[in-house]
Amino acid sequence: MKRTLLIALCFATNLFAQEKFIIEYKQNTEVNEEKVKEFEREQQQNGKGFMKIGSGKDLYHQLEYNEGISSFDRIQTVDNNQANGSVGAFSISMGGEMKALVGNQSEKKYTQEVKLDGENYVVNYPFKDYQWKITNEETTILGYKVIKAISEKENVEAWFAPAIKANVGPTQVNGLPGTVLKAIVQLKSKLETKLIYEAVKINTNPKRFTKLKESNAKVITETEFKALKDESKKKLMSTFGQGVDKG
């Protein structure tokens, strides 16, 4: 009871804390290997060709937080196909090309500019109610004490640092009395896919932030975007068919 009350008071104090920092996260993807083998066998048995599933390379993201406004964006790393890495470039997926996810603490929402099938949109995401259960488990990440919290509602495990007084974390993970330095997001998928984000670098005294620009694109809801994304995915799959090697 005392721990719950302390966390509640701490949360009320930290919610609009005037923090400024930049955190770099490493993201890796884990899948259930048995589920992968089962899926690949099903593809072959159903005559849909061979589809190789792989976890892919590690990704990196940057979270900028400046007095109530956050920006979470993919860091474009250098590989054989590109000469320069940069923050702020579009990240490409079957769900469209997405720019930074921008959070507003006072309005309790995220916005994200998206380009899908040649059309530009701004998607509104309200803050989620994770219904966190804070545990007694503690460890350290980059020298910061972090406490484990679990959201059974959203299938998320988060480790937050009370010493960094801002209600933010990687992607849309928030709602805790401290900044989330590690999050494990369980996706709803046949392969039991997990996205794991962990902080690898923290700058608590940044001199400059990425300049955020307002977009004139059409504003849509999360539900509307999901419908557009599902339709786009159907078109893409019908164009390319099966037998795609994703490894």
Quickly tell me which residue has 């068919």 as its tokens: 241
Give percent of the chain with pLDDT exceeding 90.
58
Taking residue 234's Cβ as centre, other Cβ atoms within 10 Å add up to: 10
The residue count for the chain: 247
**Average pLDDT of the chain?**
82
pLDDT in tens, 30-83: 877 776 666 666 666 666 554 454 556 789 999 999 999 999 999 987 655 444
pLDDT in tens, 121-140: 999 999 999 999 999 999 99
> Given this model, what pLDDT does residue 94 score?
53
Residues 34, 135: Cα–Cα separation, whole Å: 30
3-state secondary structure of 233: helix
Taking 90 as the threshold, does the pLDDT of residue 226 lie above it? yes
3-state secondary structure of 239: helix
Quickly tell me which residue has 């998607």 as its tokens: 123
> Given this model, what pLDDT does residue 126 score?
96
Q: Give the predicted TM-score (pTM) of the model.
A: 0.78
pLDDT in tens, 186-208: 988 766 789 999 999 999 999 99
Let me know: does 140 contact 198? Beta carbons within 8 Å: no
Q: Mean pLDDT across the stretch 86-99?
A: 57
Residues 118, 115: Cα–Cα separation, whole Å: 6
> Given this model, what pLDDT does residue 78 score?
62
CA 211, distance to chain mean position in Å, is 20
| DSSP line for 158-194 | EEEETTS--S--STT---SSSEEEEEEEE-SSTT--E
Taking 50 as the threshold, does the pLDDT of residue 4 lie above it? no
Residues 101, 128: Cα–Cα separation, whole Å: 14
Taking 80 as the threshold, does the pLDDT of residue 88 lie above it? no
The token duo for 26 is 């490493």
At residue 237 the predicted structure's pLDDT band, cuts being 50, 70 and 90, is confident
